[in-house]
Structure 1
Amino acid sequence: MTSMFEQAVGAQKEEELDRLRAEIEQLKLTQSNGSGEPSFIQIPVSQIMALRLPDNLKQPRRYFDPEKLAKLRDSIQKHGQVLEPILVRRAADGLYETISGERRWRCCIELKIDFIPAMVVEMIDETALEVALIAHLLSEEISAIEETDSILSLLKLRLGQTFEEVKQFLIAIKNYQSRGDGAELVEANGDKVAIIEAVLEEFGLKVSSFVSNRLPLLNLNPQIIEAVRSGEISPTSATLINRTPEQHQAALIEFSKTATKTQLQEKIDHLKHVEQSQRINPRDVVDNSGIIMPATQPQSDDDNSGIIMTAVPVQERIYTRLKSIRRRKSLLNDQRVQEHLAQVDSVLEKIEAIAEEKGISLS
């Protein structure tokens, strides 16, 4: 029984691989129209828009890294045009919708380039999304979260199931392959197993590793993963925010929308220091017996990001600020900065002298 099942899966898997490879080849946009000339036309940038899909079908790409967009924009500006055609479909209202190449189109808008080369194809919603997903998955710039999300979306389309059904079936396949559990369910759905294994293999993945290492990436706090899917924050920022206490996450998401990764990390570091300092309120008084006498009014402050901060001990503030300064090499090259750091060094020597006075070793 198992041997026959594996042979059937193998044959269907090869068919699915051939189909996927053919689609990937189409995405290379190098087809000819029969005359030896590229089968693309120049389309007014103003007549193009992002792929529009019904509510049950989600666009695969929503977050566009500003730095990578800037590099692409500079490259297009240098050449004065887009060299690789984008893939679009003609919509019912006469406009063109991007299936592959949305970043190039967005850069043309910013650069006020009037026309862009494009291949025009006829595609229904499901096919357009499927091709867009494959194009997204082929991108070298895609993050692990985006890739995982897109693979699940592709499998959802191929299998005709919901996201949750796809996840549960993936887990069932893994359990069958590792422990032999659920043989009846898996063997009765050999065609679906073949599709899943073919899609994953095309992107260098196996069911076991996808279930163990990739599905957990989507277990981020719901508000965080939704911010990634809606394009409000980057996957990298999402991972950083997910490591913070839940009460801070909404404010950090809002802060991250306009902050760099470095700024977000500094904000999170600051929060950690604040939480540590809350064990002893900076306004608390320690009497001669070492007993902490609580302050009558705890101090708090709002840093305008929506995160309530308590006062941070001066030593923590100095540590955080010096750490930030050390990372800015261009700042350290400024002679004025070096002079001020020399003054800080002098003050630290005085503190070390006090430690020596008290017999406290700093080594």
Structure 2
Amino acid sequence: MNSATKLRSTSMVGNILGNLTSEDTAQTIASVENPIADNFFVELPIAEIWRPKQQRLFFDPQEIEKLKIAIQEEGFRGAVLVTSLPPNSEALSQGFKYELVFGASRVTACEELDHEVIRAEIQELTPQQVRRIRFDENMVRKNLNAFEVLLGYLELMADEAETTPDVVEQELNQMSNSAKRGNGISEDIKTRLETYQAILDRYNGGKLTSFRTKLIKFRSLPDDVRQALDTGQIDASKALEIGGVKDDEDRDDLLSWIIDVNPPVKEIRQAKRQQAESKNTAKEKKPSPNMKRATTAVDGLSLLLKGDVLRKKNKQVGTILDQINDLVAQLQELT
């Protein structure tokens, strides 16, 4: 079927642009995945669908394999959602006509099965609407890890305020600094902060102060831990638990163990304590410079005791030994 086939619009966008609830979003996604007679879909060439960078940083290969098996055994059910690319899109020059809104795993599975077309619904959407729908779809499926969810919130806040994620973070920092110092903030920023909080409320995402704190913690994760989180090797709670381990070798040991064994957070904390205790014990056993000096002195006297110097009467030797005894007594007074 020609990609320009005329379609009758569904009620999807109306749901998405209102005050969303989880139930609304679930029904929206279900309407595309389980089409009813009132909805019309087309078979689009996969080569015409542009897939932008997704909010999901990692796609589980096992998930793709399960989808492929399901498609082979039961056929392709439901549809993916696409929107026409705007006239100024660079993707048009690469031969694409549509942007994928959601259904990336299904498109990948069909590609790997050498399917040339896929069932799709076309909606005319703004970039802000696309990001909202994509985020809601991932939230309903619980496809995002905790850091991806935070970044999704940040994008929605920027869209709502018609600004950039960087500006949103700057305003959140101003909010935090104002609370600490007792300084005021402008009415414009107050209004935008209320907008940001409303977005978190929509998804039961907690308070702005907590959101900012979590975002900072995730952004400060070491590269190795962040990579393990992004690729789905560890979950967010475990990433945060070992993210504060400063010693690279200790952190690498913990990370390898977590990836292999997947222990509960309680056991990870216990392992961190054992690492710290082991280091403290090692520090206690390591001789200080003064201990080394004392050892040298004792070793020297031991050698003298074995020789003939101390056996002979020698006034000068006696004077030096008296001085040594006096010094030892002074050291004992310091303890």
Q: TM-score range by the shorter chain?
A: 0.5 to 0.7
Change (3 A) 1:213 1:28: same
Contact 2:245 2:251 in 1 (8 A): no
Q: Which runs of 5+ in 1 are unaligned?
A: 1-16, 53-58, 281-363
Task: Answer with 157-166 or 96-105: which moved more.
Answer: 157-166
Match of 2:197 in 1: 197
Shift of 1:67: 3.7
Q: Secondary structure at the match of 1:64?
A: coil
Match of 2:39 in 1: 38
Match of 1:345 in 2: none
Match of 1:138 in 2: 140
Q: Deviations over 1:194-224 (max 9, x none)?
A: 3212211111123256337633442433525
Match among 259, 262, 278 for residue 260 of structure 2: 262
Match among 71, 78, 84 for residue 78 of structure 2: 84
Contact 1:86 1:101 in 2 (8 A): yes
Letter in 1 for 2:227: A
> What CA RMSD, in Å, does the superposition of the two structures yield over aligned residues?
4.7
Number of residue pairs matched by the alignment: 250
Change (3 A) 1:260 1:246: closer
Shift of 1:147: 0.7
Any residues of structure 2 matched to 1:165-314 within 5 Å, and which?
A: 165-170=167-172, 172-173=174-175, 181-185=182-186, 187-208=187-208, 210-211=210-211, 214-221=214-221, 223-224=223-224, 227=227, 235-236=235-236, 238-239=239-240, 242=243, 244-248=245-249, 261-262=259-260
Any residues of structure 2 matched to 1:66-145 within 5 Å, and which?
A: 66-81=61-76, 83-91=77-85, 92=92, 93-95=94-96, 96-123=98-125, 125-145=127-147
Match of 2:18 in 1: 19
Q: Which runs of 5+ in 2 are unaligned?
A: 1-15, 86-91, 283-335
Match of 1:48 in 2: 49
Match of 1:14 in 2: none
Q: Secondary structure at the match of 2:20?
A: helix
Letter in 2 for 1:205: G
More helix by share: 2
Shift of 1:135: 2.8
Q: Which runs of 4+ in 1 moved over 6 A?
A: 249-253, 268-280
Q: Secondary structure at the match of 1:199?
A: helix
Contact 1:48 1:97 in 2 (8 A): yes
Shift of 1:77: 3.6
Q: Secondary structure at the match of 2:135?
A: helix
Q: Deviations over 1:122-171 (max 9, x none)?
A: 34545433432333333323221211121112212322444343234335
Shift of 1:78: 3.5
Shift of 1:271: 11
- Given the alignment of the two structures, is residue 65 of structure 1 paired with residue 66 of structure 2, yes or no? no
Change (3 A) 1:162 1:18: closer
Change (3 A) 1:215 1:273: closer
Q: Deviations over 1:88-145 (max 9, x none)?
A: 2344244233211111111222333443221123345454334323333333232212
Task: State how far apart, in whole Å, the 1-side matches of 2:250 and 2:67 are.
Answer: 32
Q: Percent identity?
A: 19
Contact 1:145 1:235 in 2 (8 A): no
Contact 2:222 2:243 in 1 (8 A): no
Match of 1:155 in 2: 157
Q: Secondary structure at the match of 1:188?
A: helix
Task: State how far apart, in whole Å, the 2-side matches of 1:226 and 1:70 are.
Answer: 25
Change (3 A) 1:130 1:273: same
Letter in 2 for 1:19: G
Task: State how far apart, in whole Å, the 2-side matches of 1:260 and 1:188 are.
Answer: 45
Change (3 A) 1:260 1:104: farther
Task: State how far apart, in whole Å, the 2-side matches of 1:124 and 1:249 are.
Answer: 48
Change (3 A) 1:44 1:234: farther
Contact 1:137 1:150 in 2 (8 A): no
Letter in 2 for 1:261: I
Q: Secondary structure at the match of 1:89?
A: strand
Letter in 2 for 1:200: L
Letter in 2 for 1:112: D
TM-score, scaled to structure 1: 0.52
Task: State how far apart, in whole Å, the 2-side matches of 1:27 and 1:239 are.
Answer: 34
Change (3 A) 1:240 1:43: farther
